[in-house]
Structure 1
Amino acid sequence: MSLRAYLTSKIFFKQMIAAISIVLVIAFVFFNMLSYFTNHGEEITVPDLSKMTVEQAEEKLDSYDLDFVILDTLDYDKDFPKFAVVTQEPKPGAKVKSGRKVYLKLNAESYAQVVLPDLIEKTFRQAEPTLKSLGLELGEITYKPYLGKDMVLEMRHNGKVVKPGTKLMKTSKIDLVLGDGKIAFDENEIDSLLQKYEEGNE
């Protein structure tokens, strides 16, 4: 039988249909087995672990057949309990497969300490952003006679004078005593000037 006659024969078409059927069956079995081994369609919704302790988060994730890894401790946030979950990845509501790891970041135990910078004889415009950049809060502003207007003369915390280099908790309030731009004379200087004036007029 010639090639042309074979390609147009019933035998060829039957064999072609059989081959296509075999390929389709193999493909069907393969993709079904792949779905079985990859847990296709068995997705888990990640729970919200916010503000949970590590123990509570572990218990919750175990019930969902999920694992966890603690990545880091973040700066203390007063809106969260100590060592509670602050952020998680994947986010709550995300769809994942069984056994997936959820990465956690926890709240610190307390505010970190910062070193009070030397702001003496710095201007208020320099002092304010410096304090805020360190996580310190600006407290009460008072003035006293001094030639340099708005120049920092003293730093106080809880009513006490604090020196540069003092370690304080973040969010501590720092009160500043500034110069009012006026020259100050103490009583002794005034008395001395009056005495000289009176002696000069005798």
Structure 2
Amino acid sequence: MSLIKFLKSKTFFKQLGLAIVALVIILFLTMQWLKSTTNHGEFIKVPDLKGKTLQTVEIELNDNDLVMEIQDSANYNPKYPKYSVIEQYPKAGAQVKEDRKIYLTLNPSGYRKVPVPNIVRRTFRQAKPTLETLGFNVGQVTYVDDIGKDEVISIKYKGETIEAGKLLPLTSKIDVVLGNGKRGGSN
């Protein structure tokens, strides 16, 4: 039997019809299975987690069948408690499927630490912007007898003299001891 005769025969059309019916049934069953396993049309509203502690967040996400993924600790934000959520993705109110990962950014325990620059024997006019640019605050300014007028003689943190390179938290108040332009010692 030649190929052309076979393609025109009743047997071929019966087999083709059976194959199409089987394909339609398989597709229908697959679609029904996918609907039931993917919870088609069912969504969970993402709760607002900002400012909440890690323990509270874990309970809330478990109750909503969501998964927590801690992404990073950002720069310290004093408006939020330590180790609380300061950012989340997806945002609160978004519609997601169950077992969706919610990415969290936590507030660290404090400001990151930065090395103190070497500002000894520089003028106060140079030292102040250097400290402020790095994120420090200039605290109390005192004067001692030294020939270098308005020159930084030493720097202090919480009453103790510190050296350049010491790691201090951002926004720390650094007290500055300046020269008053007078020679020290007896006249």
TM over 0.5: yes
Q: Could you tell me which residue of structure 1 aligns to residue 76 of structure 2? A: 76
CA separation in 1, counterparts of 2:2 and 2:24?
Answer: 30
Structure 1: gaps spanning 5 or more residues? 190-202
Q: C-alpha displacement at 1:14, in angstroms?
A: 4.4
Contact kept, 8 Å, 2:112 with 2:169, in 1: the verdict is yes
Q: Any conservation in 1 of the 2:147–2:183 contact (CA below 8 Å)?
A: no
Tell me which residue corresponds to 1:137: 137
Normalised by the length of structure 1, the TM-score is 0.65
Describe the shift of the 1:14–1:149 C-alpha distance in structure 2 as closer, same or farther (beyond 3 A). farther
Give the alignment of 1:103-122 within 5 angstroms: 103-111=103-111, 116-122=116-122
Question: Could you tell me how far 1:185 is from its partner in structure 2?
Answer: 5.1
Structure 2 distance, partners of 1:41, 1:104, is 26
Larger Rg: 1 or 2?
A: 1
Q: Report what 1:193 is aligned to.
A: none
Count of residues paired in the alignment:
185
Structure 2 gap segments, 5+ residues each: none
Residue of structure 1 in register with 2:48 after alignment: 48
Provide Cα deviations, 1:25-80, integer angstroms capped at 9, x if missing partner: 21222233234333343343322211011232123212211132445554532110
CA RMSD in angstroms comes to 3.8
Amino acid at match of 1:31: M
Superposed CA offset, 1:140-160 (max 9, x none): 6677886656532343557x5
State the match for 1:67 in structure 2: 67
**What do the CA deviations read for 1:138-189 (whole angstroms, capped 9, x no partner)?**
346677886656532343557x574326775431222435558xx5357964
Identical aligned residues as a percent = 38
Whether the 8 Å contact between 2:89 and 2:103 is mirrored in structure 1 is: yes
